[in-house]
Amino acid sequence: MADTAARTLRLLTLLQRRRYWPGPELASQLEISERTLRRDVERLRDLGYTVDSDRGVDGGYRLGAGTGATLLLLGDDEATALAAALHSAACGATELAEASLGALTKVLAMLGPDQRRRAETVRSTTAPTSSRHDDSPRLSVLDAVAAAARDRVRLGFDYVAADGSETTRYVEPCGLVALGTRWYLVAHDTDRGGWRTFRIDRIDAPVPGRNHFTPRPPPAADLAEYVRFDMSADHPVHRVVIEIDLPADDVREAYGTWAEVDVVSRDRCRLTMDADTFEWPTHIVTNLVAACTIVEPPEFREHVVSVAARAQASTAPVPSR
């Protein structure tokens, strides 16, 4: 999805730069086959753009009349920030990423030439990322949950817990929290008589009630901190400590959402996080651009050694047959 999204945006940018592109030349600019180009053009059409085409060996493509004629009244910094945020959301293979790609292509088309150039620079120089897990919420579920929280109506839904058990819940929604690619609902569970945190990607078939409820005082002034604490309290965790040869501010910017980062010296810091599995700490260690030392726990050191051994084995030459 990330490569397709980037290519679709690049195609839109090229079509906006010239009135007409011969098909072979456009495919060459994108470094793709003409067959792939036809699929990408259809993708733009699915996103709502009018792309006219001429058939034949020398056929080509042009944006239809009126495409991108309306301009957004945004400041330069606002345009860059909006494009950067949508580009980040468009990476991945989820429903949210697909919708974000559609929004991003429309935003780029509605920017002025200078703003579009700035936004395109941010997009083209930013490496795409994607989550290995499909943990972004379905948009229909997100809409229903957000509307119930806004309207202060009770919400019933089916829920799959972390251990795979399936339950039906009836709650008074308080608010939503986004942490990384995951979204959470903080709500008062009326059947269980207490506050609960629900991952929205595990919610199915939400049904809002008809009657409004009187909001209770929220469980915490900062719902994001409440969710972080609730996540660590409800699951067995490992305390992972890593010392990294980078300034604390650099590491905090990259991983501060999920970990505490303390200064050891000007060019060294200590990252501490609680994790129910070693997957996310391993991601950090293997993607750092600097040396690091695993302080604790010993089990994590053994896990990383095992991962490194498997990675090395995967690079061995394939035996000839």
Q: What is the CATH number of the domain that holds 35?
A: 1.10.10
Interval 134-170: pLDDT, tens: 566 787 888 899 999 999 999 999 999 877 788 999 9
Based on the domain organization, do 203 and 273 belong to the same domain?
A: no
126 & 3 share domain: yes
36 and 115 in a single domain? The answer is yes
What CATH number is associated with residue 296? 3.30.70.250
- Is residue 318 situated within a structural domain? no
> What pLDDT is attached to residue 91?
62
Tokens of 20: 């007409």
pLDDT, position 1: 44
Q: Is 263 in the same domain as 227?
A: no
Cα Dmax for the chain: 72
Is residue 304 assigned to a domain?
Answer: yes
- 69: pLDDT strictly greater than 50: no
Task: Report pLDDT for 169.
Answer: 93
In-domain check, residue 30: yes
| Structural domain contains residue 26 | yes
Tokens linked to 14: 């090229």
* Residues 125 and 207 both lie in one domain: no
Residue ranges making up the domain that contains 263: 238-313
Q: What angle do CA 12, 14, 18 make, to 5 degrees?
A: 120
* Residues 303 and 210 grouped into a single domain: no
Q: Indicate whether 195 and 77 sit together in one domain.
A: no
Q: Higher model confidence: residue 108 or residue 130?
A: 108
Tens of pLDDT, residue by residue over 5-38, are 667 777 877 887 788 899 889 888 888 888 888 8
pLDDT tier at 210 (50, 70, 90 boundaries)? Answer: confident
Query: pLDDT for 213-243, tens place per residue?
Result: 999 999 888 888 888 877 665 555 688 999 9
Instruction: Specify the number of domains making up the chain.
Output: 3
What 3-state class would DSSP assign to 72?
coil
Looking at the fold, whether 3 and 125 belong to one and the same domain comes out as yes
Q: What is the DSSP letter of 205?
A: E
Residue 319 lies in a domain: no
Nearest to 10 by CA among 19, 20, 32: 32
Q: Give the pLDDT score at 131.
A: 47
> For residue 151, what are its two tokens?
């309207």
* 110/4 same-domain check: yes
Q: Which residue, 182, 194, 188, 192, is CA-closest to 224?
A: 182
In a domain, 242, yes or no: yes
* Within a domain: 77: yes
Question: Domain ends where: 184, 212, 234?
Answer: 234
Tokens of 289: 């651009």
Q: What is the pLDDT of residue 174?
A: 94
Domain's final residue, options 234, 252, 282? 234
